[in-house]
Amino acid sequence: MKKHLLILILLNLTLTAQNDTLNYPATQGINNLEFIKEYPKGIYNTLADFKNKTPNSTENFALEDGKSSIAYRFVNDSKKKIKDAFAISDGENLFINIKSIIPNFDESGNGQSYDGGNYYLKVYFTSKYLFMSDYFASTAASMLGGLTGGMASRREKGIIFVEKNDKFHLFKNYKEFENFINQNYPEKSDLLIKYSNPKIPEIIKIRSIIEQL
């Protein structure tokens, strides 16, 4: 009974955290429409196609109805799910398949697990990186603490695509993100102070700073 109660409490905390992130004022960023023109509407089957910005198919497709603001799914005219594409552009937004991201993580993805399933993450264009986010949990916490340990460590984490090595980089925690900024963009370290308010969700801090690099 106590175990079930703990799980319910953790679920409530997770949902509250999600709502806090969604309800926090959106960052300004760079208009997606400014960059989406580089990725013509269509389906990109491979990383090479994506890098060349050349879709393999321009068949009709549509965004499947859903309530998630993170996990997006697409269907073709026959209502069949499009599962295996590397990325999809609908002409207004770009989406990258989570199953394209996971195997192309650099070492930052070690020890992290996602919820599973087949879906696409929406890309936010910045002057330096393609930015996405999804929910991940520590595999170590899951192994040591079981379901409750995994749920307790599960949170929304930022992802960037590093074009120079064709890898995705995951920010496991905010401390790691601070190190990334200090090492790669020391001239922008003042942004860490600007967004030091503990009431701001970490994922919002990360996206806000990435947008200003």
In a domain, 127, yes or no: yes
* pLDDT given at position 116: 84
Q: What is the mean pLDDT of residues 84-91?
A: 95
* pLDDT given at position 31: 52
Q: Which of 69, 108, 74 is nearest to 89 (CA)?
A: 74
Structural domain for 163, as ranges: 2-30+93-210
In a domain, 57, yes or no: no
In a domain, 62, yes or no: no
Query: What confidence tens digit (pLDDT) does each residue in 174-213 have?
Result: 999 999 999 999 999 999 999 999 999 999 999 999 999 9
> From CA 213, how far away is CA 208, in angstroms rounded?
9
In a domain, 77, yes or no: no
> Which has more pLDDT, 22 or 71?
71
* pLDDT given at position 144: 47
In a domain, 6, yes or no: yes
In a domain, 115, yes or no: yes
Q: What is the mean pLDDT of residues 122-147?
A: 79
Looking at the chain, the whole-number percentage of residues with pLDDT higher than 70 is 78
* pLDDT band with cut points at 50, 70 and 90 for residue 139: confident
> From CA 169, how far away is CA 107, in angstroms rounded?
8
In a domain, 169, yes or no: yes
* pLDDT given at position 99: 95
Q: Which of 154, 166, 169 is nearest to 210 (CA)?
A: 169
Looking at the chain, the whole-number percentage of residues with pLDDT higher than 90 is 64
- Token output for 28: 């300004």
In a domain, 102, yes or no: yes
Q: Which of 161, 171, 155 is nearest to 123 (CA)?
A: 161
* pLDDT band with cut points at 50, 70 and 90 for residue 148: low
Q: Which of 185, 68, 88, 180 is nearest to 134 (CA)?
A: 68
> From CA 3, how far away is CA 99, in angstroms rounded?
32
* pLDDT band with cut points at 50, 70 and 90 for residue 153: low
Of the ranges 13-22, 90-99, 123-132, 151-160, which one carries the lowest mean pLDDT score? 13-22
* pLDDT given at position 138: 84
- Token output for 34: 């400014």
> From CA 53, how far away is CA 149, in angstroms rounded?
41
Q: What is the mean pLDDT of the chain?
A: 83
46-49 LR contacts (CB < 8 Å, sep 24+): 46/86, 47/86, 47/100, 47/104, 47/166, 49/86
- Token output for 180: 């990334």
Number of compact structural domains in the chain: 1
